[in-house]
Amino acid sequence: MNEQHVDVAIVGAGFAGLYATHRLRNLQGLSVQGFEAAPGPGGVWFWNRYPGARCDFESIHYSYTFDEALQREWRWSERYAAQPEILAYLEHVAERFDLRRSFRFDTRVTSAVWDDSTERWTVTTDDGNVTVARYFVNAAGAFSVFKANEFPGEADFRGTVIHTSRWPAEGIDLAGKRVAVIGTGSTGIQVSQTIAPQVAELTVFQRTANFACPLGNRPLSDEEFGEAVANYETRRVESRDSIAGAPYPRAVKSALMDSPEERRKVYDKYYQGGGFRMLASTYYDLIFNPEANATAADYIRDRIRERVKDPEVAELLCPTDHAYGTKRPPFEIDYYEMFNLPHVRLVDARATPIERITERGVATTDREFEFDVIVLATGFDVGAGALMRMGVVGRNGRTLTEHWADGQRAYIGMATHGFPNLFHINGPQSSATLFNNPLAIEDSVDFVGGLIAQADARGHTTAEVTEAAEERYNELVREVADATLFPTATSWYMGANIPGKPRTPMYLFTGAPMYRAICAEVEAMGYAGFSFD
Ligand code: N01
């Protein structure tokens, strides 16, 4: 067993871990040891290799801003980048800033224990080594633990069962196969519309219909890219000052202020334009006011009915049990038209739930279906699911799982009482879910870097959020959630997609500007809410 001593231990080599390593090691001169379970960098973009995996946030916005040359030299090929291109980008960043040498890949953290006497974290990894660190940074991502298969009988199945986030790099030959896709979230929609042309039969099991809107993908022209690069400076400022973290026009009107005809024009423009503008740029009150929301929901349902030929299938695809935007809205390319193909069918997994996987396929309460491949697009234990599985023990032997028994919470999404010198990047109760992730990550890392720099400069050895600050911030997160429609839906936003997980707002639903203002205020007040020793 080897024991090494460093300033900072970092878990994860995705967007967050790579930038944290650059900032803390290259810019602040701290010694860093990173750990990554995958054999290479990329995080969520390493693992999610399923057919059709693509970022539904525009590539020119969904990228790092910290290095001027980097953002100019990386030429995105499409308006929305596919997984291989984002992975290549992150590998390029790892090379360009010499980050790989700080990571041990294929290495999992098995425990991280705070020692009050030495004021250090002892991080143990599955390669048998021990790393003693002053600071422990959780950059393990919000989507790194996939939801375990809930259906009994997997071992009986003669074919292949695969979760989308474990798709093999060499792919799976689906040509001529009978394939089931279980789940109709962002992933299920992407994978289904992509494999439909290859397979002999596709059966989509839908428990909850979703408000999917067009993605509007296309190659990124030289002109568009050139314009983005020329104006990156202003664009990035505008992005950070916008709800979603992209320089989209901000919605300033209530949906109820416009006539039905005017609304139709607004919705047409943003529906056809593609992507998150449909939510961010149409009307500001969609997420607060059920009546306003219903105007958008009706509009989207009408489009679904236009696009799907069989009226019964169309009705089944129309969401009726939640407000638009209260489950994370997916984006699609030709998902609805796919159901007009003769070899594609939709099964109502709410009316006739899946009971088990059988030797031949899937049995619902209604009948048995035969398949060669079953694709589980059933989602993730979102939030700090990975950290919860790392055996984290804070002050007085209290485990993180005990501390979060009633729900994951973190002061400004970054710090947890009883766990000094542990910082989360885009952690629970940050605003990451509504905020373009690479930018949110940079902000979060910069905040943590600044805090460590100040603690070091003043000779402090520990920084810990106070119980009162954590509690008050948690109340704020709840108050904000209660002012919106988010709590009315069963979604991962509320921790409600995992059986037994406490139902609580997983994020601060304000969007980027208010969250950034809170963090700026905390920093300006000398890291208010933290106690330093
Ligand atoms: O997971 P999800 P995801 N029986 O939890 C269904 C991001 N992402 O992997 O709604 C039957 O959204 C479940 O049904 P229900 C994005 O933030 C981004 O699709 O619980 N069905 C639902 O339909 C996204 O939100 C991109 O009733 C079951 C589906 O499985 C997040 O990742 C691309 C079931 C799970 O949907 C997660 O998306 C892809 C059961 N027992 C993903 N259990 C980008 O473009 C679950 N389901 C960046």
pLDDT score of 67 more than 90:
yes
Instruction: Identify whether the C-beta of residue 110 lies closer than 8 Å to the C-beta of residue 124.
Output: yes
Task: Give the Å distance between the CA of 380 and the centre of ligand 1.
Answer: 7
- Report the C-alpha gap between 183 and 328 in whole angstroms: 14
Task: Give the Å distance between the CA of 86 and the centre of ligand 1.
Answer: 21
Task: Give the Å distance between the CA of 148 and the centre of ligand 1.
Answer: 13
Task: Give the Å distance between the CA of 140 and the centre of ligand 1.
Answer: 19
Which atom of ligand 1 has the smallest separation from the CA of 146?
9
- Report the C-alpha gap between 311 and 451 in whole angstroms: 57
Q: What is the pLDDT of residues 361-420, one digit of tens each?
A: 999 999 999 999 999 999 999 999 999 999 999 999 999 999 999 999 999 999 999 999
- Report the C-alpha gap between 311 and 305 in whole angstroms: 7
**186 ligand 1 Cβ < 6 A:** yes
- Report the C-alpha gap between 112 and 280 in whole angstroms: 39
Q: What is the pLDDT of residues 210-266, one digit of tens each?
A: 999 999 999 999 999 999 999 999 999 999 999 999 999 999 999 999 999 999 999
pLDDT band at 1 (very low <50, low <70, confident <90, very high): confident
Residue whose CA is closest, atom 44 of ligand 1?
Answer: 55
Q: What is the pLDDT of residues 170-194, one digit of tens each?
A: 999 999 999 999 999 999 999 999 9
**492 ligand 1 Cβ < 6 A:** yes
Query: SS3 for 462?
Result: coil
Residue 178 DSSP code: E
How far CA 100 is from CA of 21, 35, 96, 103, in Å, comes to 9, 10, 10, 5
How far CA 115 is from CA of 78, 191, 392, 529, in Å, comes to 49, 46, 12, 22
* pLDDT mean across residues, the chain: 97
- Report the C-alpha gap between 173 and 169 in whole angstroms: 12
Residue 207: phi and psi, rounded to 5, are -90, -40
Tell me what percent of the chain is helix, strand and coil, each rounded to the nearest 5. 35, 20, 45
Task: Give the Å distance between the CA of 275 and the centre of ligand 1.
Answer: 18
**55 ligand 1 Cβ < 6 A:** yes
Query: SS3 for 48?
Result: coil
Closest by CA to 19, choosing from 509, 445, 416, 423, is 445
Instruction: Identify whether the C-beta of residue 167 lies closer than 8 Å to the C-beta of residue 39.
Output: no
**378 ligand 1 Cβ < 6 A:** yes
**321 ligand 1 Cβ < 6 A:** no
Residue whose CA is closest, atom 17 of ligand 1?
Answer: 328
pLDDT score of 208 more than 80:
yes
pTM of the model: 0.97
- Report the C-alpha gap between 2 and 4 in whole angstroms: 7
**149 ligand 1 Cβ < 6 A:** no
- The DSSP result for 361-426, as a single string, is EEEESS-EEE-SEEEE---B-TTTHHHHTS-EE-GGG-BHHHHTTT----BTTTB-TT-TTEEESS
Identify the H or E element spanning 49. Answer: none
- Contact partners, residue 418, CB within 8 Å, separation at least 6: 394, 395, 396, 398, 403, 464
Residue whose CA is closest, atom 13 of ligand 1?
Answer: 183
Q: What is the pLDDT of residues 136-171, one digit of tens each?
A: 999 999 999 999 999 999 999 999 999 999 999 999
Ligand 1: which of 44, 166, 331, 497 to mutate, judged by most atoms within 8 Å of the beta carbon? 497
Residue whose CA is closest, atom 48 of ligand 1?
Answer: 55
CA angle 213, 217, 220 (to 5 degrees): 150
Closest by CA to 54, choosing from 230, 62, 470, is 62
Task: Give the Å distance between the CA of 210 and the centre of ligand 1.
Answer: 10
Task: Give the Å distance between the CA of 221 and the centre of ligand 1.
Answer: 32
Angle between helices 232-240 and 437-457 (to 10 degrees): 80
Q: What is the pLDDT of residues 321-330, one digit of tens each?
A: 999 999 999 9
Q: What is the pLDDT of residues 276-328, one digit of tens each?
A: 999 999 999 999 999 999 999 999 999 999 999 999 999 999 999 999 999 99
Query: SS3 for 66?
Result: coil
Residue whose CA is closest, atom 25 of ligand 1?
Answer: 328
Which atom of ligand 1 has the smallest separation from the CA of 492?
5
Instruction: Identify whether the C-beta of residue 217 lies closer than 8 Å to the C-beta of residue 333.
Output: yes
Instruction: Identify whether the C-beta of residue 523 lies closer than 8 Å to the C-beta of residue 463.
Output: no
**89 ligand 1 Cβ < 6 A:** no
Residue 452: phi and psi, rounded to 5, are -65, -45
Residue whose CA is closest, atom 20 of ligand 1?
Answer: 497
Task: Give the Å distance between the CA of 326 and the centre of ligand 1.
Answer: 13
**184 ligand 1 Cβ < 6 A:** yes
**497 ligand 1 Cβ < 6 A:** yes
**185 ligand 1 Cβ < 6 A:** yes
Q: Which residue is listed with tokens 């503008």?
A: 277
**207 ligand 1 Cβ < 6 A:** yes
Average pLDDT on 48-59 reads 97
Q: What is the pLDDT of residues 17-47, one digit of tens each?
A: 999 999 999 999 999 999 999 999 999 999 9
Ligand 1: which of 166, 328, 494, 507 to mutate, judged by most atoms within 8 Å of the beta carbon? 328
- C-alpha of 209 from chain center: 20
